[in-house]
């Protein structure tokens, strides 16, 4: 992930100074624990300025409106109380080559600021600090006490003190070539690392761009550079400083990241403003991080509940095994009752012949009780075991059904692609909401469930051009099977394997070719726990033969009149995939 460096921050501030000053603060909203948005309005437009102190993605960028969810954070309440209705009058870097931005707020431009908001973009030490007109700290995203830092504390009521300055040299256009070369080449090492160690304000991404523009490899070491190569690198160095001084920024996408300067003609056409570029990059990265974290959280939740249910299942099965001896206890009691005339006091066991087989049966006895009392104890034991069996059997069935349900959800999680898109995130959020609704997960702010307006799964095309619809979670599975399936469609599912419901959509009167049935079977195995297998059995039937048992959990069905095919998941790559539902 590419962090915001000094050059990027200067470009962001430059665009804000050009287009958004002055701007009235209409709203303050905190999206999460690391990001806060200011609703701004100028004479011509409105927008949202996001200030983030995320440890890996701290930034200051104009972005899309925040989600309409409850804001329960104290920091936003404090900023809303102080800043709402004031004007943003200035946005500036506090010191050259330091990644600290000061936003000033007042009644109108030209007057002394009533409040200042400092955003410190310093990796894991990033922070957002509000001060009054006298630079006294009112509140901060992170309060820093003396036990946390001996160099600098951040506490309410204290004067604001900037972060300690870096000790590296400051880049300058007035520096001579000889001095610059001597500093960079003083200690032998990789050229990019030497630039980072010698001068402040650089990042690994910027150092790589400088070397690339000079035609140098990142792995070159300083002692191996010739005079012409030093000259080429110094020329690029000055080109960077000149563009930075003149505000000549040319933001553009570059490979897997972005750049805000174009130091060569080979770099792509620039984007008009760097804010959409930076916002898209970090939103995409954070969405991926959030996706992975949520999927990991859901997997852990499933693991915890599955472990508990497995323990219950083991206990119930042990009790059933014990209950299996109920009939034996009754037979022994019957034998004792039939042979009371043979009873002798003080015996510890009775050896009698079985009624049916004639085989010898040894029955343990309690010597202090008569045979009648021993028989009565065995009858009681028989009744107790029968009652336990009657109670445990339905409980065991419920546990098995619940385990099957959680296994089905686990299969849906495993089917999600690592390349996160809007559809994958929506599927994951649906799974989270389902677990919350079923009582397996507690959400601090439950998402309001939207009305199902259509199918949002995946679509493939069979060899004959018929659509193959795939449910990607239990909510989609139920919608597909019980609301969208038509009388002429065919319903597919991996046989006795957790997986998705698959529907081969057929128009009236259409007769699918064997290749069409096979393609739907292949998709059915691909979207199941048998994805890594060479082949697996798949059942298919008409949707009218698929039923949901009373009280069954989402996605759980039974079916009748099925036919079996063998699906091969590796074949799915050959089938065309239509654009996903939106």
Same domain for 388 and 464: no
Q: How far is CA 209 from CA 202, 257, 274, in A?
A: 11, 12, 17
Domain region containing 391 = 322-396
Per the CB < 8 A criterion, the answer to whether 184 and 198 are in contact is yes
Q: What is the domain count for the chain?
A: 4
- The alpha carbon of residue 180 and the mean position of all alpha carbons in its chain are separated, in whole angstroms, by 46
In a domain, 407, yes or no: no
Q: Is the domain of 257 the same as that of 329?
A: no
pLDDT at 269: 67
Last residue of one domain, picked from the residues 140, 165, 189: 140
- Confidence at residue 535, expressed as pLDDT on a 0 to 100 scale: 95
Q: How far apart are CA 405 and CA 120, in angstroms?
A: 47
Pairing of strands 546-547, 536-541: unpaired
What pLDDT is attached to residue 582? Answer: 41
Cα distances (angstroms) measured from residue 11 to each of 44, 50, 117, 409, 458: 22, 15, 19, 46, 41
329 within some domain: yes
My answer on whether 359 and 256 are in the same domain is no
Q: Dihedral (C-alpha) 329, 330, 334, 336: value to the nearest 10 degrees?
A: 20
Q: Is residue 381 part of a domain?
A: yes
Q: Do residues 170 and 199 touch, judged by C-beta distance below 8 A?
A: yes
Does 136 share its domain with 31? yes
Q: Report the distance separating Cα 170 and Cα 200, nearest Å.
A: 6
50 has which bridge partners?
Answer: 37, 61
Q: Tokens 């009939």 label which residue? A: 327
Which pLDDT score, from 0 to 100, does residue 581 have? Answer: 46
Of the candidates 120, 140, 160, which is a domain's last residue?
140
Q: 396, 429, 449 — which closes off a domain?
A: 396
Same-domain pairing of 543 and 471:
yes
CATH number, position 235: 1.10.8
Q: What string of pLDDT tens digits covers the 582 residues of the chain?
A: 899 999 999 999 999 999 999 999 999 999 899 999 999 999 999 999 999 999 999 999 999 999 888 888 999 999 999 999 999 999 999 999 999 999 999 999 889 999 999 999 999 999 999 999 999 999 999 999 988 888 899 999 999 999 998 889 999 999 999 999 999 999 999 999 999 999 999 999 999 999 999 999 988 999 999 999 999 999 999 999 999 999 999 998 888 889 999 888 776 667 778 999 999 999 988 888 888 999 999 999 999 999 999 999 999 888 887 776 677 778 878 888 888 888 888 888 888 888 877 888 888 888 888 888 888 888 887 888 777 778 888 888 899 999 999 999 999 998 887 666 778 888 898 899 999 988 898 887 666 555 555 677 899 999 999 999 999 999 899 999 999 999 999 999 999 999 999 999 999 989 999 999 999 999 999 999 999 999 999 999 999 999 999 888 999 999 999 999 999 999 999 999 875 544
Task: Please give the structure tokens belonging to residue 120.
Answer: 């410190």
Residue 295 three-state SS: helix
Q: Could you tell me if residue 42 is inside a domain?
A: yes
Question: Same domain for 206 and 121?
Answer: no
195 and 131 co-located in one domain: no
- Range list of β-strands (E), 134-204: 137-140
Question: Considering the domain boundaries, does residue 210 fall inside one?
Answer: yes
Spell out where 445-535 has E strands. Answer: 458-461, 467-470, 490-494, 502-504
Is 287 domain-assigned? no
DSSP annotation of 354: -
Residue 37 shares a structural domain with residue 106: yes
Domain CATH code at residue 14: 2.30.310.10
Whole-structure pTM value: 0.75
Which residue has 């003609």 as its token pair?
A: 265
User: With contact defined as beta carbons under 8 Å apart, do 66 and 29 qualify?
Assistant: yes
- Residues 68 and 131 occupy one common structural domain: yes
Strand partners, 199: 169
> In 3D, which of 501, 519, 532 has the Cα closest to residue 577?
519
Q: Look at residue 34 in the predicted model and tell me its pLDDT.
A: 94
Same domain, 265 and 332: no
Q: Please check whether residues 390 and 473 belong to one and the same domain.
A: no
301 occurs within a structural domain: no
Task: Assess if residue 379 is contained within a domain.
Answer: yes
Residues 33 and 136 reside in one and the same domain: yes
Helix (H, G, I), strand (E, B) or coil at 364: strand
């Amino acid at each position: 992930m590419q962090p915001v460096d000094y050059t990027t921050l200067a470009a962001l501030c430059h665009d804000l100074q050009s287009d958004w000053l002055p701007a009235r603060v209409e709203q303050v909203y905190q999206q999460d624990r690391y990001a806060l948005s200011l609703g701004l309005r100028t004479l011509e437009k409105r927008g949202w300025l996001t200030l983030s102190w995320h440890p890996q993605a701290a930034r200051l960028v104009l972005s899309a409106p925040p989600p309409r969810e409850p804001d329960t954070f104290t920091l936003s309440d404090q900023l809303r109380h102080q800043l709402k209705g004031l004007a943003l009058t200035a946005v500036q870097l506090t010191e050259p080559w330091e990644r600290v931005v000061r936003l000033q707020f007042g009644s109108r431009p030209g007057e002394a600021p009533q409040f200042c908001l400092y955003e410190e973009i310093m990796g894991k030490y990033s922070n957002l600090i509000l001060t009054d007109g006298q630079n006294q700290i009112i509140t901060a995203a992170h309060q820093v006490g003396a036990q946390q830092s001996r160099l600098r504390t951040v506490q309410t009521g204290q004067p604001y003190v900037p972060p300690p300055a870096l000790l590296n040299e400051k880049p300058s256009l007035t520096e001579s070539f000889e001095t610059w070369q001597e500093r960079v080449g003083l200690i032998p090492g990789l050229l990019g690392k030497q630039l980072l160690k010698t001068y402040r304000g650089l990042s690994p991404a910027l150092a790589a761009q400088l070397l690339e523009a000079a035609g140098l490899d990142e792995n070159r070491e300083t002692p191996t550079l010739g005079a012409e190569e030093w000259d080429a690198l110094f020329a690029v160095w000055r080109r960077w400083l000149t563009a930075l001084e003149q505000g000549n920024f040319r933001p553009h996408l570059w490979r897997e990241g972005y750049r805000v300067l174009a130091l060569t003609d080979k770099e792509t056409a620039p984007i008009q403003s760097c804010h959409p570029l930076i916002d898209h990059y970090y939103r995409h990265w954070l969405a991926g991080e959030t996706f992975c974290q949520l999927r990991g959280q859901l997997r852990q939740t499933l693991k915890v509940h599955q472990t508990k249910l497995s323990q219950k299942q083991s206990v119930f099965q042990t009790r059933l095994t014990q209950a299996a001896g109920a009939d034996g206890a009754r037979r022994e009691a019957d034998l004792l009752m039939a042979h009371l005339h043979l009873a002798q006091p003080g015996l510890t066991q009775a050896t009698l012949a079985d009624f049916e087989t004639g085989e010898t049966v040894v029955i343990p006895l309690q010597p202090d009780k008569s045979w009648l009392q021993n028989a009565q104890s065995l009858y009681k034991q028989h009744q107790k075991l029968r009652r336990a069996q009657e109670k445990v059997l339905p409980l065991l069935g419920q546990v098995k059904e619940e385990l099957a349900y959680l296994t089905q959800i686990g299969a849906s999680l495993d089917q999600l692609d690592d390349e996160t898109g809007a559809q994958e995130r929506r599927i994951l959020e649906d799974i989270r909401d389902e677990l919350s609704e079923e009582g397996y997960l507690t959400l601090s702010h439950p998402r309001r469930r939207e009305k199902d307006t259509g199918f949002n799964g995946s679509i493939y095309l069979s060899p004959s051009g018929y659509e193959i619809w795939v449910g990607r979670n239990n909510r989609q599975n139920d919608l597909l099977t019980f609301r969208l399936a038509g009388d002429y469609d065919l319903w597919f599912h991996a046989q006795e394997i957790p997986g998705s419901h698959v529907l081969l959509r057929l128009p009236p009167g259409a007769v699918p070719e064997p290749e069409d049935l096979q393609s739907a079977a292949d998709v059915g195995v691909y979207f199941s726990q048998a994805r890594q297998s060479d082949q697996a059995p798949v059942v298919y039937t008409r949707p009218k033969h698929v039923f949901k048992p009373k009280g069954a959990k989402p996605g759980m069905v039974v079916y009748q009149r099925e036919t079996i095919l063998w699906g091969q998941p590796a074949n799915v790559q050959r089938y065309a995939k239509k654009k996903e539902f939106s």
